[in-house]
Amino acid sequence: VEATIPEPLREAWRKYSAKPFTQKSEIELEFVRHIETTLARSLFNCDELAAYSGIALAFRDRLIIEWNKTQQRQTFADQKRIYYLSLEFLMGRALDNAMLNVGLKDVAKEALGDLGFRIEDVISQEHDAALGNGGLGRLAACFLDSMATLNYPAWGYGLRYRYGIFKQEIVDGYQVEIPDYWLDFNPWEFPRHDITVNVQFYGTVNKQRDTQGRTTHIWQGGETVQAVAYDVPIPGYGTPTTNNLRLWSSKATSGEFNFQKFNAGDYESAVADEQRAETISAVLYPNDNLERGKELRLKQQYFWCAASLYDIVRRFKKTKRAWNEFPDQVAIQLNDTHPTLAIVELQRILVDIEVLEWDEAWHIVTHTFGYTNHTVLPEALEKWSVPMMQNLLPRHLQIIYDINLFFLQSVEKRFPTDRDILARVSIIEESHPKMVRMAYLAIIGSQKVNGVAELHSDLIKTTIFKDFVDICGPDKFTNVTNGITPRRWLHQANPRLSELIASKLGGYGFLKDLALLEELEDFINDKEFRKSWVEIKLMNKTRLAKHIKEATGYQVNPNALFDVQVKRIHEYKRQQLNIFGVIHRYLAIKAMDPKERAKPVPRVSIFGGKAAPGYWMAKTIIHLINKVASVINNDPDVGDLLKVIFVADYNVSKAEMICPASDISEHISTAGTEASGTSNMKFVLNGGLIIGTCDGANIEITREIGEQNIFLFGNLAEDVEELRHRHYYGDFKLDMHLAKVFDAIKGGMFGPPDDFAALLSSVESHSDYYLVSDDFLSYIETQELVDEAFRNQDEWTDKCITSVARMGFFSSDRVITEYAESIWNVEQLDMGKENE
Ligand code: 73E
């Protein structure tokens, strides 16, 4: 039955169809209505959390009206759509973003004021949506914001984890992990119980002949789990476009099987099945840049790929087009190799279910996908054991073997004399057990492969994927340097700075066209402007100092130099280099004549970040930072000269407070290891400077802002291999300054030396893989240059303003435009008058 209301009866619908609010009184009406009905509360028991719920529900309704219209508009326009597949979407809070993007924050502020609430207090009630680990997940969130803002017809597809990234507490200096159950009240999602997909696992494959005598493969048996869609509206900034993020949740299928069990009185086992199914989407794996090969993770990946592809194909089929038009309608971007099974699944759908010829199907597949690589770290490159895949996804393994066979045949034809190349590029690694190399499969199945910053994109072409450049040609490999959304990372995180910039540039146009920031350079000598600039930085530092006081009890001086390193804890990111540098500074202060101690620039070293629960070295680094903090912060010789702070539970909303409050931030990875980094961009955009290595996007930031405005140090990527080789063959002498730091640790200055023995020996006796010793001298000398520069506050301010003015390139709007033009070949939706 056609579920559409006949034309003559539509008048009532049109009359009562919901209209998006714009007025204060309308917001107040909606707020009170939700408090009194949806939430069953009243003005006598409306606390800040209830107020958050009320205003969030009001704005959710507002978003969903535009969301509905956007979907209709996109269906009607019938253009190519972008599908962004990511296992992580690190969205953070939604309310502030929703209010700003629809342009009603000021109005909402007044409305809440009328009703007895301060908007900041209400906003801070919201729990972060923390469905990601770090940069990769946050990048996906920035991309959603930019795709909506630029009116691209785009969908995000991910998993609706019941538990996001764990909450971190620091107990006696150690990290403790607390589960993050975040779904108690989440007004931003819409369950779509009518949109479900059954996903199959295990079972066997049988060959059959169809009526035309062709061999077909039937995948039977095993178990099925149901995917249920939950939709999250993604509002663009200053446009009605509201795109969709679809997250899949797993549950047991309500099929025959359970029914029989219930009837047979086997209630407990039926409930156990139910729970087993729900386990698939229960928890986000808390590893950043590390793959552990767990079966449940592979199940998550297939569950999500299968459900998403089914949905995408279903939408395509509604247009009644021929299959060869699929790549003209659909662009699927793989956020790292995590969704690589989508390639295999589409081939399976086309060959086994839609009965296309293999070659025709493969042509469609390879013109649909794009693959973004985010890391060269070997421990992060995904490989799945062949026996595991054979068991879980028997038909997919067959298809992978066939893809590999045809690929290797073509390679052999082209390189008949290279005897090793087939083993090197085979999707199957001939180890025990055999492994499926997901990155190779992703390359072979995609039209384009991109890295995320220039150095990184060059490195993948010359190292891990070198053979594939020879085989597929250089045009398949490209670079798209990462970016960040200026809406969240300037306007929302730093409203005062955004307002100051708008006052000079004549409006907020820069939020949609970040290159406009360059006009700021015209105001570099404007005294009033500079004064406001400095005041805003001080206010932001004061706000952070207040948080630090509340969270740690330590009082820090907002006039000191705030030196910040916040990111996941990882040896390659080298928080150990930073804390060793802090100890070096401490020893220097202690060694000074008390009269001299007035000279150094007072500094607050601020750390934050989570360690993967099973990553012992990273946890040791956190422990050392906290021990060093408690010694230094309680040493009366030091006073305000040096304070060390570990901010617990670093997340998106903490980042929004911390980024605007830094004077200098540290991006000090071993050269060649950090693919891009994106917090480097957030700090500079908020008027902070960088101390960093020649790595990732630091290099392009330097090119844009000028090398006089950044503090670079350390060995270059091209020298890393040689240095490691030298260490390995015994030619290694610990830097003398670092040796003194190690002596202090070994002497028990920061607690039992045994606690840190493994960390020190990773540098001293295990070949110093991350070159901490090699870069130490250059690091501490450069930190002295930072002190020097900070003493001259006027020049420092020049550097900050100039840098912000030159950050336009790092908007995620620029990034999305590059993807759209050079990889996806999609067009923005023409909004006609609506977008004016
Ligand atoms: O350099 C960052 C990059 O800025 C990189 O380490 C990160 O991606 C960011 C965005 O491009 C990243 N995360 C992961 N790999 N690279 C990763 C790998 C496995 C699981 C979770 C995250």
Domains annotated on the chain, with CATH: 78-93+128-481+823-829 (3.40.50.2000), 486-810 (3.40.50.2000)
- Does the CB atom of residue 482 touch ligand 1 within 6 A? yes
Please give the number of the atom of ligand 1 that sits closest to the Cα of 697: 4
Q: Which residues share a beta bridge with 335? A: 372
Ligand 1 centre distance from Cα of residue 182 (Å)? 23
Please give the single-letter amino acid code of residue 509: G
Ligand 1 centre distance from Cα of residue 441 (Å)? 19
- Does the CB atom of residue 551 touch ligand 1 within 6 A? no
Cα–Cα distance between 537 and 663 in angstroms, integer? 8
Please give the number of the atom of ligand 1 that sits closest to the Cα of 138: 10
CA distance between the termini of the chain: 40
Substitution site in 283, 288, 291 for ligand 1 pocket (most atoms within 8 Å of beta carbon): 288
Please give the number of the atom of ligand 1 that sits closest to the Cα of 135: 9
pLDDT of residue 8: 85
Substitution site in 374, 454, 464, 485 for ligand 1 pocket (most atoms within 8 Å of beta carbon): 374
Q: Kindly give the parts of the chain with pLDDT less than 50.
A: 1, 835-836
Of 156, 169, 154, 159, nearest to 132 by C-alpha is: 159
C-alpha separations of 279 from 247, 287, 612 in Å: 15, 18, 20
Cα–Cα distance between 451 and 469 in angstroms, integer? 13
Strands 689-692 and 664-667 turn out to be: parallel
Q: Which residues contact 763 (CB under 8 A, 6 or more apart)?
A: 576, 734, 738, 742, 772, 773
Torsion of CA 746, 749, 751, 753, to 10 degrees: 0
Of 465, 471, 469, nearest to 414 by C-alpha is: 471
Rounded to two decimals, what is the model's pTM? 0.98
Other beta carbons within 10 Å of 366: 17
Q: What is the tens place of the pLDDT at every residue in 768-824?
A: 999 999 999 999 999 999 999 999 999 999 999 999 999 999 999 999 999 999 999
Please give the number of the atom of ligand 1 that sits closest to the Cα of 456: 1
C-alpha separations of 772 from 242, 459, 573, 727, 761 in Å: 47, 21, 10, 12, 12
Phi, psi for residue 480 in degrees, rounded to 5 = -135, 105
Helices 341-348/295-318 angle, 10° precision: 50
Please give the single-letter amino acid code of residue 516: L
Cα–Cα distance between 76 and 267 in angstroms, integer? 48
Paired tokens of 573 = 């990111």
Cα–Cα distance between 158 and 85 in angstroms, integer? 6
Please give the single-letter amino acid code of residue 808: G
275-304 CB burial, b ≥16 within 10 A, e <16: eebeebbebbbbbbbbbeeeeebbbbbbbb
Please give the single-letter amino acid code of residue 261: K
Strands 154-159 and 383-385 turn out to be: unpaired
* Contact predicate 110/24, CB 8 Å: yes
- Does the CB atom of residue 677 touch ligand 1 within 6 A? yes
Residue nearest to atom 8 of ligand 1 (CA): 136
Ligand 1 centre distance from Cα of residue 377 (Å)? 10
Cα–Cα distance between 477 and 370 in angstroms, integer? 10
Of 452, 466, 473, 270, nearest to 371 by C-alpha is: 452
> Dihedral of CA 652/658/659/660: which sign?
positive
Q: Which residues contact 40 (CB under 8 A, 6 or more apart)?
A: none
- Does the CB atom of residue 372 touch ligand 1 within 6 A? no
Ligand 1 centre distance from Cα of residue 133 (Å)? 9
Substitution site in 136, 680, 700 for ligand 1 pocket (most atoms within 8 Å of beta carbon): 136
Ligand 1 centre distance from Cα of residue 314 (Å)? 31
Paired tokens of 46 = 């409306």
- Does the CB atom of residue 374 touch ligand 1 within 6 A? yes
Cα–Cα distance between 542 and 534 in angstroms, integer? 12
- Does the CB atom of residue 674 touch ligand 1 within 6 A? yes
Ligand 1 centre distance from Cα of residue 666 (Å)? 17
C-alpha separations of 425 from 402, 433, 460, 471, 701 in Å: 15, 18, 14, 9, 34
- Does the CB atom of residue 136 touch ligand 1 within 6 A? yes
Phi, psi for residue 292 in degrees, rounded to 5 = -115, 0
- Does the CB atom of residue 380 touch ligand 1 within 6 A? yes
Please give the single-letter amino acid code of residue 47: D
Substitution site in 88, 165, 375, 569 for ligand 1 pocket (most atoms within 8 Å of beta carbon): 375
- Does the CB atom of residue 258 touch ligand 1 within 6 A? no
pLDDT of residue 270: 82
Cα–Cα distance between 281 and 247 in angstroms, integer? 10
Please give the single-letter amino acid code of residue 222: G
- Catalytically active residues are 374, 567-568, 573, 678, 682
Residue nearest to atom 19 of ligand 1 (CA): 289
* Contact predicate 447/437, CB 8 Å: no
Q: Three-state SS for 593?
A: coil
Ligand 1 centre distance from Cα of residue 504 (Å)? 36
Residue nearest to atom 14 of ligand 1 (CA): 289
- The DSSP code sequence of 748-772 is TTTS-GGGGHHHHHHHHTSTTTT-H
Strands 642-647 and 711-712 turn out to be: unpaired
Residue nearest to atom 21 of ligand 1 (CA): 288
Please give the number of the atom of ligand 1 that sits closest to the Cα of 452: 11
Residue nearest to atom 17 of ligand 1 (CA): 289
State the Cα angle at 628 between 627 and 630, rounded to 5°: 65
Name the one residue in this structure whose structure tokens are 């009170």. Answer: 32
Ligand 1 centre distance from Cα of residue 353 (Å)? 35
pLDDT of residue 255: 65
Residue nearest to atom 10 of ligand 1 (CA): 136
Ligand 1 centre distance from Cα of residue 557 (Å)? 34
Torsion of CA 2, 7, 12, 13, to 10 degrees: 50
- Does the CB atom of residue 675 touch ligand 1 within 6 A? yes
Phi, psi for residue 334 in degrees, rounded to 5 = -95, 115
Q: What is the largest CA-CA distance in the chain?
A: 96
Ligand 1 centre distance from Cα of residue 611 (Å)? 14
C-alpha separations of 642 from 127, 563, 817 in Å: 33, 11, 44
- Does the CB atom of residue 688 touch ligand 1 within 6 A? no
Q: Peptide bond before 433: cis, by omega within 30 degrees of 0?
A: yes
Paired tokens of 434 = 């055999």
Cα–Cα distance between 414 and 421 in angstroms, integer? 11
Ligand 1 centre distance from Cα of residue 574 (Å)? 16
Residue nearest to atom 22 of ligand 1 (CA): 288
Name the one residue in this structure whose structure tokens are 């021929």. Answer: 322
pLDDT of residue 4: 82
Cα–Cα distance between 726 and 742 in angstroms, integer? 22
Name the one residue in this structure whose structure tokens are 């178990």. Answer: 223
DSSP 8-class letter at 689 = E
Cα–Cα distance between 6 and 598 in angstroms, integer? 82
Residue nearest to atom 2 of ligand 1 (CA): 677
Paired tokens of 306 = 């299968």
Substitution site in 289, 382, 485 for ligand 1 pocket (most atoms within 8 Å of beta carbon): 289
Paired tokens of 561 = 């130099």
- Does the CB atom of residue 133 touch ligand 1 within 6 A? yes
Element (H, E) at 710: none
Of 282, 219, 295, nearest to 251 by C-alpha is: 282
**What burial class does residue 561 get, using C-beta atoms within 10 Å of its C-beta: 0-12 exposed, 13-18 middle, 19+ buried?**
buried
Helices 438-445/394-414 angle, 10° precision: 70
Here the ipTM equals 0.99
Ligand 1 centre distance from Cα of residue 288 (Å)? 7
Of 665, 711, 465, 703, nearest to 561 by C-alpha is: 665
Please give the number of the atom of ligand 1 that sits closest to the Cα of 139: 10
pLDDT of residue 244: 98
- Does the CB atom of residue 452 touch ligand 1 within 6 A? yes
Paired tokens of 360 = 């025709």
**What burial class does residue 788 get, using C-beta atoms within 10 Å of its C-beta: 0-12 exposed, 13-18 middle, 19+ buried?**
exposed
Ligand 1 centre distance from Cα of residue 442 (Å)? 16
Name the one residue in this structure whose structure tokens are 């779509």. Answer: 192
Paired tokens of 365 = 């597949």
